[in-house]
Amino acid sequence: MAEIGRAAALPRGGTAPDTRGPSTDLGLDMKALAASIAVALLVSLPLRAEDVWTEQRAVPDEAGANAQFGAAASLDGSLALFGADGEDSFKGAAYFYTKGAGGWTELQRITPDDTTAAEFGYRVLLRGDLAIVTADQSSPNNNTAQGSAYVFAPDNTGTWLQTQILLADDGQTFDNFGSTASMDGNTLVIGAHGATVGPNAAQGAAYLFANHSGNFSQSGKVVADDGVAFDNFGITTAIVGDTLFVGAATAQIGSNFGQGAVYAYHLDNGTWTQQQKLVADDGASGDNFGLSLAFDGTTLMVGSIFSGGTGAVYVFTNDGTGWQQQQRLSVDGISQYSFFGNAIALHDGEALIGADGQNVGTDTTVGAAYLFRFDGASWVQAHTFLSSDGTTDDFFGLAVDYDGSTALISTLHPNGNQGAAYFYTHDTIFTDGFDG
């Protein structure tokens, strides 16, 4: 909100006009002159927008030590969903929060109906009246860590109920189905980074499901054309329209073990076809490029948490001939092993990026998150988020989401791994360009 009255104030350090003189009538003239100057200043000085963020901390009453509340987070308008995959001896739970006039409050705790679930809440996804919660360590059909995903929807009273359990049609032991979940329109993608493909253990796969009025059925499966054992393809996914990206964060590139890659797919006549394999132009062994992904339909961001020892995020756009790297994002002065890029949320020319290993002062691995904005030519850092009560080993920034007005950032370790989440509400205040 513009503070019109402040335009009449003199800049800090300025002096009032000297009205002393032989004629007292000059005082009136100088007052008029001062008023004219004030009006001129109001017209000529541009209003400057400043970011102001209001923090609210959330921890559900039911979550005790080792709940790991905030292991995953998703935001959709006035609803938020958090995973707490350590709760109840790692059976897991998830929590809905809703935003009202007084801020964010807990709405409902959900758990799976079946007894095979393990680490329910490992990943969560909220899209309108659908919620997806994964349990990548669950053991359906007595297959250890095959993994599963659960669909929830609200009934006519607003209570969220489990409506379906999703499994891979060829699921096996240690597939880790549910390592990630992404959705656009009626297409849901579930990663299974531990899936065995042919003779290759943990080569990984991603499964596609079609939504038919709230009922999902498997519609496809993608694997890397050049995949090998322990690529962990499917550790991350991102989809918009007919474009799908799948991360393989430990893929070997040349002689570089664990450098990582991201695979681009396009939907052609009902079939997902691999179009391109993306790697960082400065990639090195152990970078884990592809450990996080965010895609908004035109811009792809890829996290590489060990790049340069601090982490980095790579920006790609499509020039009509394919996806090309445009920029490498980092933060000046960031600490070694900050894991910058461990989580990314992308919205309308802004990106919220986690660095959950960042040191703050003398406290190690407190964690931080950084907001970047696209200025029309490049992405520039705009804001740094630090929790007001952060301390050693919090890992603030583990999971993030962002919708342009609310930044959602979680931290796993406070209070004996109880976890916590922080909502930051954005207000833009306009100032008049004066200092003070």
Examine the domain organization and report whether 326 and 389 are in the same domain.
Answer: yes
Q: Does residue 271 form part of some domain? A: yes
Q: Does residue 105 form part of some domain? A: yes
Tokens of 212: 């038919």
Examine the domain organization and report whether 239 and 377 are in the same domain.
Answer: yes
Examine the domain organization and report whether 358 and 420 are in the same domain.
Answer: yes
**Of 397, 277, 401, whose CA–CA distance to 341 is shortest?**
397
Examine the domain organization and report whether 153 and 272 are in the same domain.
Answer: yes
Examine the domain organization and report whether 290 and 406 are in the same domain.
Answer: yes
Examine the domain organization and report whether 94 and 124 are in the same domain.
Answer: yes
Q: What is the pTM of this model?
A: 0.87
What is the CATH number for 129?
A: 2.130.10.130
H helix runs in 127-214, sequence order? none
User: According to the model, what pLDDT value does residue 429 have?
Assistant: 65
Q: Which of 44, 59, 76 is the last residue of a domain?
A: 44
Q: Does residue 436 form part of some domain? A: no
Examine the domain organization and report whether 19 and 105 are in the same domain.
Answer: no
Examine the domain organization and report whether 286 and 245 are in the same domain.
Answer: yes
> Cα(163)–Cα(186) distance, rounded to whole angstroms?
16
Examine the domain organization and report whether 113 and 162 are in the same domain.
Answer: yes
Which residues of the chain fall short of a pLDDT of 70? Answer: 1-50, 428-436
Characterize 374-412 residue by residue with b for buried, 16 or more Cβ atoms within 10 angstroms of its Cβ, and e for exposed.
beeeebeeebebbbeebeeebbbbbbbbbbeebbbbbbb
What SS3 state is found at 130? Answer: strand
Q: What's the one-letter identity of residue 203?
A: Q
Examine the domain organization and report whether 173 and 31 are in the same domain.
Answer: no
Number of domains in the chain: 2
Q: Tell me the residue range of the domain where 24 lies.
A: 4-44
Tokens of 383: 């804001």
> Cα(233)–Cα(227) distance, rounded to whole angstroms?
8
User: According to the model, what pLDDT value does residue 151 have?
Assistant: 98
Examine the domain organization and report whether 261 and 333 are in the same domain.
Answer: yes
Cα dihedral 30→31→36→41 (10° resolution): 100
Tokens of 41: 């200043």
User: According to the model, what pLDDT value does residue 385 have?
Assistant: 98
Examine the domain organization and report whether 9 and 118 are in the same domain.
Answer: no
Q: Does residue 29 form part of some domain? A: yes
CB atoms within 10 A of CB 10: 15
